[in-house]
Structure 1
Amino acid sequence: MEAVGPSQDARDVKDRTTGDPGPPTSGPDPTITDAAQVAADLGVDPDAGLGTAEAARRLVTDGPNELRSAPPVPLWRKILAQFQDPLIYLLLVAVVISLAAWTVEGGHGLPIDAIVITAVVLLNAVLGFVQENKAENAVAALARMTAASSTVLRDGELRAVPASELVRGDILVLGEGDAVGADARLLRTSALRVAEASLTGESEAVLKDAAALDEPAPLGDRLNMVFKGTAIAQGTGRAVVTGTAMGTEMGSIAEMLDATVEEASPLEKDLAGVSRLLGITVIVIAVVVMVVTALVNQVSTPTEFVTVLLLGVSLAVAAVPEGLPAILSVVLAIGVQRMARQNAVVKRLHSVETLGSASVIASDKTGTLTKNEMTIERVVTASGRVELTGVGYVPDGEALTGGLPVTDAALLHEARMVLGGGSLANDAQLRETDGTWQIHGDPTEAAFLVAAHKLPGTREVIAEFRREAEVPFTSERKRMSTQHFRPSEDAHGIVTKGAPDVLLGLCDRVQVGTEVIELTAQRRAQALADVEELSAAALRTLGVAYRRFDELDDDVLDESDERDLIYLGVVGIIDPPRPEAAVAVAEAHRAGIRTIMITGDHPSTAARIAQDLGIVGEGARAVTGTELDGLDGGGLRDVVREVSVYARVAPKNKNDIVDALQADGQVVAMTGDGVNDAPALKSADIGVAMGITGTEVTKEASKMILADDNFATIVSAVRQGRIIFENIKKFLRYLLSSNMGEVATVFLGVVFAGAIGLTDASSDAVVVPLLATQILWINLVTDSGPALAMGVDPEVDDVMARRPRPLSERIIDRRMWLGILSIGLVMGLITLLTIDIFLPGGLVAGSDSLEVARTAGFTTLVLAQLFNAFNSRSETTSAFSRPFSNRWLWGAIILGLVLQFAIVEVPFLQIAFGTASLDLAHWLVCLAMASAVLWFDEVRKLVLRGRDARAA
């Protein structure tokens, strides 16, 4: 990225929202230009701000301070998108064929087949549209929650305006807790620190200074600028807006998103392949059967041709699971709702399954894997070291040494003085509101306040001091000092906090217990060694010192008073990992999912956090963005295969890492909250944004948003995605094997019509074992209930105990296809055998009419499919394993039985579906024949389990 102002790409982009250009692409770099000159160039008086009329004019000229977004998709396009599926195309073709056959036949009555299939297609479209609209509304609500306002100086008065109305030349008035609404050049500051983690990935708040830089600098080192999307952590300041909308650094990153293309999810690709295969299968079977039937039966009249065409339609209807699109939409929608209850908002239905396929989770560190709550972990003084338990801003914890409570009075006194002194030289605040602890100000300073609560008596002593003056922190001084008065001792004093090496240079004595002794060369060396030890443990270090005096040397506290100090000790500070994140990382590893941490933080800090979380083992190192920049494509792929921690990375590095992982065959889930994460989120197979701290750009780029900003939620979502994928396989196994049973019944019934007595039972040229309406009934009613129930089946096996599904593995593999075909063949054979049993001719002599025999075959096929529902819950686990764990499945089975009984026995339904009543003997034969599917599959599963055991 260039060092001059907003990125060149961002400045050159035309704001498509307004049609007007952003900030000028030429002109002096504001970072190396005097602040007063920058304001003059922008035509504004820093003490009065823009006039209202001028601000309105510039708003019209430059457009609103909003990042460019894609134009809203028209309603008609959203609706049409629901029909863009190969399976839907297949069903629409079936509708056309049905209507054509109905027309050729004379158009008598209603075209039931065409009406029912059309209803299914429309139902699927409505379900998909409604669910995706709900997701869009949820995302829009999150965007409204994060809408920001800014305080500006206009007409000489302070005003709060929406951040979208900021214009170039506006004078921003900045204070603690404010969100920065635009890129701006600082005019003046007072201890101003800005949290830029959302833009640069740097977890520490950056101290700002209004002085011009000597030369252009990288983004993270532009200390006289503030940027859109960051926040004020401490202090105050004023700045003149230099860039808005797409002319900001945030805009330059948003621009990168246009270069990435979203791909279809693995599930969408698989189902498209299944749909194509089904389409080809349907056409081949229908054509072969129609040709063979026409030749064998010597078809010559138009009526006979229509009969053959209807047979082809029947086979097409039998082969295509009409309910599949609707069932898939419903199951995914249920999964989305379950995940929403677990604080995960999914923007696209198919993204749910993609999570289950993830083999890598690449995560930002700050605020995602860590709490973004700086915590003092250790205090090192002359008498030893104290470990403080507890993390974050909740002041619960205790002081330990060697794992035991501190009993050394001298060490305890020194630790109290260190934490007390750090709490006095402090501008942060710690408050409890309704049982929740919150900080206001710099997180590092707040860490002292929290730690002071953990040592009894420290806060009471702090309360005795009254602040009188301050020498603020600057990056050059690397320290701050505050002056205090203690009435009980009628004494003044200063407390200095800062970089330990700088502080030690100002000290000549050291606190040891309650005494003050000379800071000898040996003690000074030991203090520096303590600092090195803490730094090696990836802890940020701050030293504390003080000096007492009865009177000030002069009336004003300044740097000259920072002398002859008494060294108290040093603290080690860390941004602690989220406790649930370590558990989530371990669960991900158990599931064969690799976790990668990508951060803008220091390499040693990144490595330490990664070790604490279990992402890497002891001694693993972090690779920096600079190192990545020096690699070619092959070298980068080699690195990403081995390295799991990346530090000091730029947005482009994150994108490159994700691309390299995908090129290596990985399914990548990328989590993050900052603007700098957005391009990688969009490039990833599943981008997951943080809902609370996540920026607007990040949420726009993501496919899923975590409402609780909890990394552990991502692993819960992975589990849910895997369960959904398993359930999709279950109902696919069920629907396709059932449909193969129908195809086998019709195909073999026509080919062997004479052998089973069908030909002798009717005078028609072509006799079919099942009517088209009966097949539709099976597909749409009998099949749909159990399939839906399997879509919400509880976790049968431990889905997190297996490795992620490889990209090369299809949703229906060879073993599953063999099971589908074998079960379908058994269904077809037992259905035809049942028909044969009741017909007068054929292999087995019967005495019933064609209507009764066909109804018995129809019923046997329905009952066989209901038995098959239990088979389909697992590829290898017995149907008798936990058979009652899914009450919805039992409800669907019972409903299917009731409906089938109604179709067979209710008179007006008999007319509609061509059925006849059955007596008890018929029903018992149908039940016994249908159960053969269950017993056959139990034997098949037993063989498969034995084969798997031998392979293991």
Structure 2
Amino acid sequence: MEPPDRKGNPSITDASEVARDFGADLEAGLTSHEAARRLAADGANELRAVPPVPAWRRVLAHFQDPLVYLLLAAIVIALAAWMVEGAAGLPVDAIVIAAVVLINAALGYVQEVKAVDAVAALDRMTAATSAVMRDGRELRVPSAELVRGDLLVLGEGDSVGADGRLVQTATLRVQEASLTGESEAVTKDPTTLPKPLALGDQLNMVFMGTAVAQGTARVVVTATGMATQIGLIAHLLEATPEKPTPLQNEVASVGRMLGIAVLVIAAVVVATLLMISDIRNAADVIAVLLLGVALAVAAVPEGLPAILSVVLALGVQRMARHNAIVKKLSSVETLGSASVICSDKTGTLTRAEMTIEQVMTASGGTHVTGVGYEPHGQVERDGMALTVGPLHAEQIVVLSGGSLASNADLRQQGGVWEIHGDPTEAAFLVAERKLGVNERREQRFERVREVPFTSDRKMMSAIAIDHEHGGERVLVAKGAPDVLLQRCTRVRVGMEVVELDPAQRARLMADVDALSDAALRTLAVAYRPLAANEDLDGGEALEHGLIFAGTAGIIDPPREEAVVAIREARRAGIRTVMITGDHPRTAARIAADLGIVEAGEAALTGLELDTLDDAALRDAVRTTSVFARVSPQHKLRIVNALQAEGHVVAMTGDGVNDAPALKTADIGVAMGVTGTEVTKQAARMILADDNFATIVEAVREGRAILDNIRKFLRYLLTSNMGEVLTVFLGVVGAGVIGLQGGGEAVVLPLLATQLLWINLITDSGPALAMGIDPPTDDLMGRKPRHANERLIDRRMWATVIQTGLVIAAVTLLTIDLYLPGGLIEGTFDLATARTAGFTVLVFTSLFTCFTARSETASAFASLFVNPWLWAAVALSALLQVAVVHINFLNLAFGTAPLTLAQWGVCAAMGSVVLWFSELRKLVGRARHQSDADHGGPARAPLSPR
């Protein structure tokens, strides 16, 4: 039958009626034919992703840049000039500029596609499957192929593939933190609810994206895809706007600034020349317009968009090798500017592997070494391995008893220890192996019954046959210490059992309090032999007169690498903030162990956050670094408060309820292993290993990329400033340097094609090589860049303008050197003089490659650490030789061959920019040292930036 769109409320409808409404067979499941029909009708069981941007629109987006607009305008002017002059030959200027624009767009598009493919590969790697009944047999299918009416079969460790109504369960507990934020697993029951309840209280329903922690179940699928509870949240997420990154804002600002500057300079120069020059015909007007094109070409770093894309893409690839998948290239720089990392606790800062750390029994306490599920370690007393005796006997009962009253499994696969089932129960299996008695328990006991855990009882019991004691039956219970103690009348002391008097009971509770004060989760173990005539199906009635064995203190231990990473983040001026749903005492303990806060510092809870208005919350986030028992709304408020304080915030998350905060943060970081699909869509970066240390490594990479972006921006702007000033000053001072046109209205010191050639051979290869320059200073030893700090600041502009003036001066002086007249009398023609100036301008750019690597450090420091830069410089120099000495290039670019002596003069003149830069940096370092010696303000950091 046709499944209904939404048949009432499944949680308040009897399971058999739900099955009937959805045409579900509770034994055989759907037929394959019917499942295929429903899948075709309803669509895949997937959340609606953002519609893919068509390839043509992605290509077009790479032309929507202020820098590209300038080049497009230059193409139009060059074509107009070519047509006015009679359209003779090819429009070389327009063709070369168009080629540059197309190459830039192609490079950017290719790198964007690579990033998208990396994310898609991660999605394929983590694609979920589900067990269903089809045609009367159980099989696994991709979760995307689930349909309404499917009979879903759940087991421990499974991810729930769709929303559904429980029809049959066996001790089912489901971890719903990804949906509701509740950290404890929820015990499920197929009993029909009497009335509609909130999502977290719908105990007879399971929801897509949650995970089975314990038990088994059969479920009728009632909703798939966007109709699920996760789908409803995804609808809300679509309305959350996405902010541009600081790098996007900065590049857009640079583009606008250059655009305005170029238009103003070109307009002033062209207008001035039209007024003061002897304009006699259309050809003279075209010459003036070509000057405007030349100025535009000289000012615009044509390679900037492509170089940015390539450098960011290379950084993305390096991050991917460190398990950080960046979805958007520009997000790499945001990491480099991050000043706060807001992180969840479980699995990111901790191992997500519950570990028994202490065991308290009647004879005292022990410490269990080793962390995680790998059973390497031992049980110690006062730092020494525990030996046979009363305490040892008590420890065996606690750890083996806790393992016996457990449904978890510990196994080794491929050299890696893994668990199946509840992590807390698995902690007993690991600790038991550390005590060295696991084989004895496995051979001695046989489980025959279970009294399952419920949230009301806060305990569970297992009934086993003890084969070493003639088949004696024993009940072993595990649960909350206060609950178990109420059911105990005796206590195990060594090999004896004694009555549990009030003093002994008080001491045992004091042990529990001590473990709780240490932020350990506590579970107690008790047992009693069963009489031969007791009914094993008695259930809870058997849980009385128990013998108290002891209490285990359990913790999710911090990742060792996270401790190092947090210390490194602090050194880098980055604050780590823990935001968790756990108990505040546990959160504060873990935060102290990790080094986020000092020991004894308290956490701020969600209830306390509710009492704070926005202003008070801003005050709180300045000093508080641990937030506990928080909801998704609290996470969003914390992120907003930190951003209001001027911080660049990175936010981690794995659950659906984290998605709004991830999207609001400057860079959202989703967990690749435990993260939900909605979270990964909302985030800009995905951690393939769910490890906090990976974030800090990504920050380091982001800072290196940011440094390199500053390097090649300094280089590109300096070179292009030199070109602009050369053209501008060459036209204005043409008479001074002997640049006469022989009757022409305007004679340019350099041709537009020559300026384009300079930008092609110097702006591309060398700038790209600078973009992958190895770090030349301690990246994590300085404070993060402030959100309002400009990438191109006043200091950089001062350097660009000063060096640009030097470049223009030596270039024009070289032209004057070879032209008749001017300041220096020369004997060569205009083509030779222009070629010499053209070559000097190329050489100054190549020398600037080395000087621009640092604002303060000498170019000779770390001179040979980047072989790619040397290769790029050598290639550019060879190309310049070619354009000067190959005939057809002479015709295309208006050059003339130079003698060896002339090449030597050009190289010497070009090197002036290097010596000027070295002198300027030397003075700057001396001034900085003088200020430091006299206690004055440091004018400039000595770290190369």
TM-score (norm. length: structure 1): 0.93
Specify the alignment match of 2:424 in structure 1: 444
Change (3 A) 1:187 1:716: same
Kept after mapping to 1: 8 A contact 2:92/2:892? no
Q: 1:672 aligns with which of 618, 634, 653?
A: 653
Change (3 A) 1:211 1:109: same
Specify the alignment match of 1:570 in structure 2: 551
Compute the displacement of 1:557 (Å): 5.2
Q: 2:96 aligns with which of 112, 116, 130?
A: 116
Provide the rounded CA distance (Å) in 2 between the counterparts of 1:42 and 1:838. 92
Q: Would you say 1:523 and 2:504 are equivalent positions? A: yes
Q: 1:96 aligns with which of 76, 101, 104?
A: 76
Compute the displacement of 1:92 (Å): 0.8
2:453 alignment partner, SS class: coil
Q: 2:260 aligns with which of 253, 259, 280?
A: 280
Kept after mapping to 2: 8 A contact 1:22/1:246? no
Equivalence map 1:905-920=2 (5 Å): 905-920=885-900
For 1:740-788, what per-residue CA distance to the aligned partner results, in whole angstroms no more than 9, with x for missing partners?
Answer: 10111111111111111112x7443312211111111111113322111
Q: 2:116 aligns with which of 136, 140, 148?
A: 136
For 1:239-274, what per-residue CA distance to the aligned partner results, in whole angstroms no more than 9, with x for missing partners?
Answer: 333433233221222122112111211111111111
Compute the displacement of 1:42 (Å): 5.6
For 1:182-207, what per-residue CA distance to the aligned partner results, in whole angstroms no more than 9, with x for missing partners?
Answer: 22233332111112232234444322
Compute the displacement of 1:159 (Å): 5.4
Kept after mapping to 1: 8 A contact 2:108/2:305? no
Specify the alignment match of 1:477 in structure 2: 457
Q: 1:365 aligns with which of 345, 356, 365?
A: 345
Compute the displacement of 1:712 (Å): 1.2
Specify the alignment match of 2:6 in structure 1: 23
Compute the displacement of 1:50 (Å): 6.0
Compute the displacement of 1:727 (Å): 0.5
Equivalence map 1:840-855=2 (5 Å): 840-855=820-835
Specify the alignment match of 2:942 in structure 1: none
Sequence identity of aligned pairs in percent? 63
Kept after mapping to 2: 8 A contact 1:418/1:568? yes
1:454 alignment partner, SS class: helix
Provide the rounded CA distance (Å) in 2 between the counterparts of 1:702 and 1:22. 32
Compute the displacement of 1:36 (Å): 5.1
Provide the rounded CA distance (Å) in 2 between the counterparts of 1:331 and 1:770. 31
Kept after mapping to 2: 8 A contact 1:362/1:671? yes
Specify the alignment match of 1:412 in structure 2: 392
Provide the rounded CA distance (Å) in 1 between the counterparts of 2:438 and 2:896. 90
| Number of equivalent positions | 929
Q: Would you say 1:801 and 2:781 are equivalent positions? A: yes
Equivalence map 1:469-868=2 (5 Å): 469-490=449-470, 491-548=472-529, 551-554=532-535, 556=537, 558-759=539-740, 762-868=742-848
Provide the rounded CA distance (Å) in 1 between the counterparts of 2:372 and 2:137. 39
Kept after mapping to 1: 8 A contact 2:47/2:234? yes
Equivalence map 1:42-441=2 (5 Å): 46=26, 62-153=42-133, 158=138, 160-212=140-192, 217-407=197-387, 409-441=389-421
TM-score (norm. length: structure 2): 0.94
Task: Tell me the amino acid that sits aligned with residue 548 of structure 1.
Answer: P
Equivalence map 1:901-940=2 (5 Å): 901-940=881-920
Kept after mapping to 2: 8 A contact 1:367/1:673? no
Bigger shift: residues 641-650 or 809-818:
641-650
Task: Tell me the amino acid that sits aligned with residue 251 of structure 1.
Answer: G
Provide the rounded CA distance (Å) in 2 between the counterparts of 1:588 and 1:552. 64
Kept after mapping to 2: 8 A contact 1:420/1:459? no
Provide the rounded CA distance (Å) in 2 between the counterparts of 1:320 and 1:258. 37
2:553 alignment partner, SS class: strand
Kept after mapping to 1: 8 A contact 2:573/2:784? yes
Change (3 A) 1:78 1:52: same
Task: Tell me the amino acid that sits aligned with residue 609 of structure 1.
Answer: I
Task: Tell me the amino acid that sits aligned with residue 767 of structure 1.
Answer: V
Change (3 A) 1:762 1:338: farther
Compute the displacement of 1:555 (Å): 5.0
Bigger shift: residues 791-800 or 925-934:
925-934
For 1:815-839, what per-residue CA distance to the aligned partner results, in whole angstroms no more than 9, with x for missing partners?
Answer: 0000001100110011111222222
Compute the displacement of 1:168 (Å): 4.2
2:775 alignment partner, SS class: coil
Specify the alignment match of 2:943 in structure 1: none
Kept after mapping to 2: 8 A contact 1:201/1:366? no
Kept after mapping to 1: 8 A contact 2:111/2:310? no
Provide the rounded CA distance (Å) in 2 between the counterparts of 1:578 and 1:852. 68
For 1:645-672, what per-residue CA distance to the aligned partner results, in whole angstroms no more than 9, with x for missing partners?
Answer: 2233333332333233323322221222
Bigger shift: residues 654-663 or 584-593:
654-663
Specify the alignment match of 1:16 in structure 2: none
Task: Tell me the amino acid that sits aligned with residue 785 of structure 1.
Answer: G
Kept after mapping to 2: 8 A contact 1:201/1:601? no
Bigger shift: residues 883-892 or 921-930:
921-930
Provide the rounded CA distance (Å) in 2 between the counterparts of 1:876 and 1:791. 18
For 1:25-80, what per-residue CA distance to the aligned partner results, in whole angstroms no more than 9, with x for missing partners?
Answer: xx45x545655565566665656656777766765665543222232222221221
Task: Tell me the amino acid that sits aligned with residue 931 of structure 1.
Answer: S
Compute the displacement of 1:121 (Å): 1.3
For 1:775-823, what per-residue CA distance to the aligned partner results, in whole angstroms no more than 9, with x for missing partners?
Answer: 1111111332211110000001112112121121111000000000110
1:558 alignment partner, SS class: helix
For 1:117-169, what per-residue CA distance to the aligned partner results, in whole angstroms no more than 9, with x for missing partners?
Answer: 11121112112222222222222232233333333456766554543344444
Change (3 A) 1:350 1:924: same
1:842 alignment partner, SS class: coil
Compute the displacement of 1:386 (Å): 1.2
Kept after mapping to 1: 8 A contact 2:71/2:296? no
Compute the displacement of 1:708 (Å): 2.1
- Structure 1 alignment gaps of length 5 or more: 1-19
Provide the rounded CA distance (Å) in 1 between the counterparts of 2:366 and 2:16. 49
Change (3 A) 1:828 1:355: same
2:468 alignment partner, SS class: coil
Kept after mapping to 2: 8 A contact 1:719/1:800? yes
Bigger shift: residues 853-862 or 865-874:
853-862
Provide the rounded CA distance (Å) in 1 between the counterparts of 2:437 and 2:143. 45
Provide the rounded CA distance (Å) in 2 between the counterparts of 1:238 and 1:525. 45
Compute the displacement of 1:462 (Å): 4.0
1:796 alignment partner, SS class: coil
Kept after mapping to 1: 8 A contact 2:527/2:547? yes
Kept after mapping to 1: 8 A contact 2:490/2:546? yes
Q: 2:864 aligns with which of 852, 865, 884?
A: 884
